[in-house]
Amino acid sequence: MKKYISITLVLICSFAFGQGKINIFNYTAYNLSNSLVGYNSSNGNCLPSFNGTNHPVPVPPGAAVTYNGYYQSGLVNPPIPSWTVYTAGGAVTTQAHTNLILNTPYATTTSWQLNKFSLHYVSGGGVPYGGGSVGTIVCNTPLVDYEGGAPWAYEAFWFVSGGETYFIIQ
């Protein structure tokens, strides 16, 4: 009985205290593709690490999306159907968005760290100077919270407020 109570408590904590939400706002005239990264920043190797992308389904111009975590991210529009998971010892696996490994125990030890993004014309093709990275670009390095301005086709912002992560591009 104690075992079931402990497992239930871990699951509740995972849902309540996981990596948190990431809110993405696309205020450009372009389609936005995101490659999101979450990892454990409290250790020296930043593992476990999760990489997922919404490519080929973009966030359209003027739209927003919120991912409540890695788990079930494939049910959001645009979906992130799978995540590449890096763990200690060099293990790399690809997990479907419905795999419980994306929810617990890793969700309690990781947070959103990075977005490697690209902009594309609605009619197709990449936008010149239409891509970059914001967040903690490399494990245990300073945060890059802004990118853009001339000659880039955008200004991108990354910040955390109230336990939620925000990526805004305009």
pLDDT in tens, 83-99: 999 988 789 999 999 99
Structural domain for 110, as ranges: 2-169
The total number of structural domains that make up the chain: 1
pLDDT in tens, 159-168: 999 999 999 9
The continuous run of DSSP H or E covering 101 comes out as: none
Closest CA to 41 of 137, 133, 109, 134: 109
Q: For 90, what's the count of Cα atoms within 13 Å in the CB-facing half-sphere?
A: 0
- Identify the pLDDT of residue 18: 54
What tokens appear for 137 in the block?
């670009």
pLDDT in tens, 130-147: 999 999 999 989 999 999
Q: Kindly report the backbone phi and psi dihedral angles of residue 42, in degrees, each rounded to the nearest multiple of 5, phi listed first.
A: -90, 0
Name the least confident of 38-52, 75-89, 101-115: 101-115
For the whole model, what pTM was predicted? 0.87
- Identify the pLDDT of residue 140: 87
- Strands (E) across 121-154 are located at 126-135, 146-148
What tokens appear for 169 in the block?
């591009």
